[in-house]
Amino acid sequence: MARGNLEAPPEADRYEDAPHPREACALIGHAEAERTLLDAYRANRLPQAIILGGPPGIGKATLAWRLTRFLLAHPDPAAAAVQAAENLYVPAEHPIAHKLAALSHGDVFLLRREWNEKAKRSFTEIRADDVRHAIHMFQQAASAGGYRICIVDSAEDLNRSGANALLKLIEEPPPRTLFLIIAHRPGLVLATLRSRCRRLLLQPLSQAEIGAVVAALGAPWSDFARDLVLAAAERAGGAVPAALRLLGGRGTELDRQVRRLLGDLPAVDWRAVHELADAVGGRDNAADYDLMMVAIVDWIDAVLHREAGRGAARLAPLAEVWEKAAEAARETEVLNLDKRPLILSIFADLATAATAFAA
């Protein structure tokens, strides 16, 4: 797992220059989920595979790394320190915390989209070869007789072969192993894999909790005025990265622009849509593109919830638009295509769906 060096490649599971979840010793929110994990460990009933489910950016990875840190720092569940613990906190000064922050602990394997040196970007999925590397690690004896832990971030990034390889490993796990699988949409995890895991669903963060997370990140995020942070938290849908996108660059302005176009549906200002596509669709505008997609998803979700009483058949066209758009977005990412045609297509489909919905 050793990756720590001065020229480490970009990490697919890190948001820009914000601290990585493995570097965060504090956990804001999710006290009930944390208590569930601590109680299970103290009773020596910790499952061998856990799906940590919930929307992106709410702290699932932070909780996974926090549990990992605690288990390695306290390998005996019957120890007095474990029995007396109020939570899973381990200080940043602890040797285990240093090793995990440097990705240098031999008993921990992180499965994520790896860096493609040839293409100079992360692979678009977790491949079967990546899972085989984890299998090799699990065939070794754990140091100090403790846990061997595999963190999967995230299940949605596993390709079919990778998911099946992981399933085989979970089906016949060596003793004292733990799989922590982060899933943004746990219902879509491979059914056979899901059936072998304990599911722990986390809720979106409150506005106050997002504000506390932003403040804890340090500069430049903690330098924003409190009213701007709270405004971003209100629009973030319980997810920290969404709030950071709104705070960074022209996030708030872009969010207003997208929501204005969505609010006008089924009418479409195609000149404004083309300007939006030119502004966020290029290969160097990933953060703005992500912000636009989040705004579209949030808008669809809000409409579907608000109009739920009108019947599933009436709302179906709108739901179908998002499924179609999500599939096209994945294909665009995998093939590294220009995103501008996709953006135009999404607004055309939304306009059609909104016309049918309003009829």
**Last residue of one domain, picked from the residues 201, 233, 264:** 201
| Cα dihedral: 45, 46, 51, 54 (round 10) | 90
Taking the C-alpha atoms of residue 147 and residue 96, their distance in angstroms, rounded to an integer, is 13
275 and 174 in a single domain? The answer is no
On whether residue 95 sits in a domain, the answer given is yes
Give yes or no for a contact between 180 and 50, defined as CB atoms under 8 angstroms apart: yes
196 and 290 in a single domain? The answer is no
Give yes or no for a contact between 343 and 281, defined as CB atoms under 8 angstroms apart: yes
> Could you list the residue range(s) of the whole structural domain that residue 131 is in?
21-201
On whether residue 239 sits in a domain, the answer given is no
Q: What is the DSSP string of 177-246?
A: EEEEEEESSGGGS-HHHHTTSEEEEPPPPPHHHHHHHHHHT-TTGGGS-HHHHHHHHHHTTT-HHHHHHH
Q: How many domains does the chain have?
A: 2
175 and 277 in a single domain? The answer is no
On whether residue 25 sits in a domain, the answer given is yes
Give yes or no for a contact between 130 and 153, defined as CB atoms under 8 angstroms apart: no
On whether residue 237 sits in a domain, the answer given is no
Taking the C-alpha atoms of residue 143 and residue 40, their distance in angstroms, rounded to an integer, is 23
Taking alpha carbons only, the member of 198, 189, 200 closest to residue 166 is 189
Q: How far is CA 62 from the centre of its chain?
A: 10
In this prediction, residue 150 carries a pLDDT of: 95
**Last residue of one domain, picked from the residues 144, 179, 201:** 201
Name residue, tokens 């059936």.
195
88 and 197 in a single domain? The answer is yes
Taking the C-alpha atoms of residue 166 and residue 156, their distance in angstroms, rounded to an integer, is 13
On whether residue 217 sits in a domain, the answer given is no
Residue 326 tokens read as 């999500």
DSSP run (H or E) holding 149: strand 148-153
Q: How far is CA 181 from the centre of its chain?
A: 11
Give the pairing of strands 115-116 and 121-122. Answer: antiparallel
On whether residue 213 sits in a domain, the answer given is no
pLDDT by residue for the chain (359 residues), tens only, comes to: 544 444 578 898 888 778 899 999 999 999 999 999 999 999 999 999 999 999 889 999 999 999 999 999 999 999 999 999 999 999 999 999 999 999 999 899 999 999 988 888 888 889 988 998 888 877 776 676 688 999 999 998 998 899 999 999 899 888 889 999 999 988 889 899 999 999 999 999 999 999 999 999 888 888 988 888 988 898 888 889 888 888 876 677 888 899 899 999 999 999 999 999 998 887 667 778 877 887 887 788 778 777 777 766 777 888 788 778 777 777 777 667 788 898 999 999 999 988 877 66
On whether residue 13 sits in a domain, the answer given is no
38 and 149 in a single domain? The answer is yes
Name residue, tokens 């963190």.
151
Residue 130 tokens read as 């990546």
28 and 129 in a single domain? The answer is yes
On whether residue 1 sits in a domain, the answer given is no
294 and 170 in a single domain? The answer is no
31 and 150 in a single domain? The answer is yes
Taking the C-alpha atoms of residue 323 and residue 340, their distance in angstroms, rounded to an integer, is 18
CATH number for the domain that contains residue 112: 3.40.50.300
Distances (CA, A) of 9 to 106, 121, 131, 285: 20, 9, 20, 19
Mapped onto helix, strand or coil, the DSSP state of residue 60 is: helix
**Last residue of one domain, picked from the residues 138, 171, 201:** 201
51 and 138 in a single domain? The answer is yes
Give yes or no for a contact between 98 and 73, defined as CB atoms under 8 angstroms apart: no
51 and 156 in a single domain? The answer is yes
181 and 61 in a single domain? The answer is yes
Gyration radius from the chain CA atoms: 21
In this prediction, residue 5 carries a pLDDT of: 43
φ/ψ (deg, to 5) at 42? -60, -35
337 and 277 in a single domain? The answer is yes
Give yes or no for a contact between 278 and 340, defined as CB atoms under 8 angstroms apart: yes
